[in-house]
Amino acid sequence: MTAIIETVEITAGHDGRAEMVVCLVYENGGRSSITLDETAGARLMQSCNANNLTDLSGQSWDRVRDALVHAYNRYQS
């Protein structure tokens, strides 16, 4: 099942750093939210060529997944 980004908001993380809350909408109408840390959020903006949060609406879930993988891999040596 595929999903697209519906909305994105900036919120404060538990450490006080900015985080991105990405709301996804699925083909069947279901919705879910994913929180991205600063690294993943920056990667998502870059991969979508987004200038602002509204530019992310309509982008594929695949971009979110790839941003999460990139953020995770920064800890691998």
Mean pLDDT by 10 residues, the chain (77 residues): 94 91 97 96 97 97 96 86
Q: Which of 51, 15, 9 is nearest to 34 (CA)?
A: 9
3-class state of residue 44 by DSSP:
helix
pLDDT at position 77 is 67
How far from each other are the two terminal CA atoms of the chain, in whole angstroms? 33
The per-residue b/e assignment along 31-65, b for 16 or more CB within 10 angstroms, e otherwise, is eeebebbeebbebbbeebebeebeebeebebebbe
pLDDT at position 18 is 92
Sorted by sequence, the CB contacts under 8 Å of residue 70 that are 6+ apart come out as: 39, 40, 43
Say what the pTM is: 0.90
